Amino acid sequence: MAAVDTIAAGEPAAGPAQGRPRRGAGRRDGFTPWRWLILVLAGVYFLIPLYAALRFAGWGSFGSVIHQSGFTDALGLSVRLAVITTVITLALMLPTAVYVHLRLPRLRRLLEGITILPIVIPPVVLIVGLLQVAPGFLKGTSYLLALEYVVLAMPFAYRSIDAGLRSFDLKTLVEASNSLGAGWSSTLRRVVLPNLTTALLSATVLTVALVLGEYTMASLDLYQTFPVWIVVFDQTSGPISVAASLLALFVTWLFLLAITMLGGRQARRTGGGEVALFSVARRDTGRTS
């Protein structure tokens, strides 16, 4: 949608708006049978296990899942952990990433390296380390596990926010905002955050998905989170535990879908990138560096 120019000066609508290729144009032509084949194969690969699980569990099990002992507590704990982890992660990562982008761009590489460590280091090492340094009042509370999850979520959250910050000219926008009389809090609230919604949603999606699916740390630390409960319950009733797994899967899917659609709508309005799970698509502006 090239900008319509109706002004008297008659300036041609040149620039980024026009130079942008129309989305989807010419793409459909290349949708060959090969692609269909791959799509079908991948679909079969993913859907057959789901179907098998569904058959094994039977429709009846779904209704009885919520009446099982421990279900509500486990789900409640997982949701609480997801919320706490997301809040702490964003509160830590957002200011850090913004600050590094604006003031210490040379440290960006280093920070990237640091934030990837939790993926490299085995979870057991992280747990033992954290237990060593964690203050006593945290032990046994859900906050301790949330802190462990914050560490685990760091690589994903940082990457999302970093990609979001790179998708627009942060420095120039902040300076423009300053020159117009906005202080730091106004600039963050009205300029930086609104342009990071996609990235923040993406970070949230990843963090929540990670917390809702994490098993190792929770079971090692003896927390009965939802995934742990499923495994434990599996020993009592196979079909119901499978039904619970499927339920968890669908709920997580719906949740991710909702966030993605939310981000997509925002992105379409402002021309920004859409939510992708590991990064944010680059904004298509004619920035110069």
Partner 1 sequence: MTANTAKGTGAGTGASGAAKATGAGRAAGAVGPAGPPDGAGAHVSLQNLSRFFGAVRALDGLNLEIEPGELVALLGPSGCGKTTALRILAGFESADRGSVLVDGRDMSAVPAARRDMGMVFQSYSLFPNMSALDNVAFGLRMRKKSADQRRSQATELLEMVGLADQARQYPHQLSGGQQQRVALARALAIEPSVLLLDEPLSALDAKVRVQLREQIRSLQQRLHTTTLFVTHDQEEALSMADRVGVMRDGRLEQVAAPSELYARPATAFVAEFVGTMNRIPGELEADGRVRVLGATLPIKGERPGEPSGLMDVLVRPEDLHLAAVQAGSGIVTIATFLGSLSRISVLLSGDITVQVDVPSAEAPAPGTPVEVTMGNTPVLVTTRH
Q: What's the rounded Cα separation, in Å, for the pair 142 and 173?
A: 39
Q: CB–CB of 82/152 below 8 Å? A: no
Residue with tokens 């809702």: 212
Site map (CB under 8 A) of partner 1, residues 190-209, x = contact: xx--xx--------------
Residue 75 vs 163, nearer CB to partner 1 = 163
Binding residues for partner 1, total number by CB under 8 A: 44
Counting contacts by CB under 8 A, is residue 23 touching partner 1?
no
With CB under 8 A as the contact rule, the residue among 66, 124, 128, 180 that binds partner 1 is: 180
Counting contacts by CB under 8 A, is residue 287 touching partner 1?
yes
Footprint (CB under 8 A) of partner 1, residues 140-169: 168-169
Helices (H), 121-237: 123-133, 142-166, 170-179, 184-186, 193-213, 216-220, 226-234
With CB under 8 A as the contact rule, the residue among 183, 185, 222, 235 that binds partner 1 is: 183
With CB under 8 A as the contact rule, the residue among 5, 38, 58, 261 that binds partner 1 is: 5
Counting contacts by CB under 8 A, is residue 274 touching partner 1?
no
Q: What's the rounded Cα separation, in Å, for the pair 10 and 231?
A: 69
Instruction: Look up residue 176 and give its two tokens.
Output: 């423009």
Q: CB–CB of 177/190 below 8 Å? A: yes
Instruction: Look up residue 226 and give its two tokens.
Output: 């939802």
With CB under 8 A as the contact rule, the residue among 11, 32, 106, 137 that binds partner 1 is: 11
Counting contacts by CB under 8 A, is residue 189 touching partner 1?
no
Instruction: Look up residue 152 and give its two tokens.
Output: 């685990």
Task: Determine the angle formed by the axes of helices 142-166 and 71-103, rounding to 10 degrees.
Answer: 40
Counting contacts by CB under 8 A, is residue 181 touching partner 1?
yes
Counting contacts by CB under 8 A, is residue 6 touching partner 1?
yes
With CB under 8 A as the contact rule, the residue among 87, 130, 134, 182 that binds partner 1 is: 182
Counting contacts by CB under 8 A, is residue 270 touching partner 1?
yes
Q: What's the rounded Cα separation, in Å, for the pair 214 and 218?
A: 7
Residue 14 vs 114, nearer CB to partner 1 = 14
R_g of the chain, CA atoms, integer Å = 23
By CB under 8 A, name the binding residues for partner 1.
Answer: 1, 3, 5-9, 11-18, 168-169, 172-173, 175-183, 186, 190-191, 194-195, 269-272, 283-289
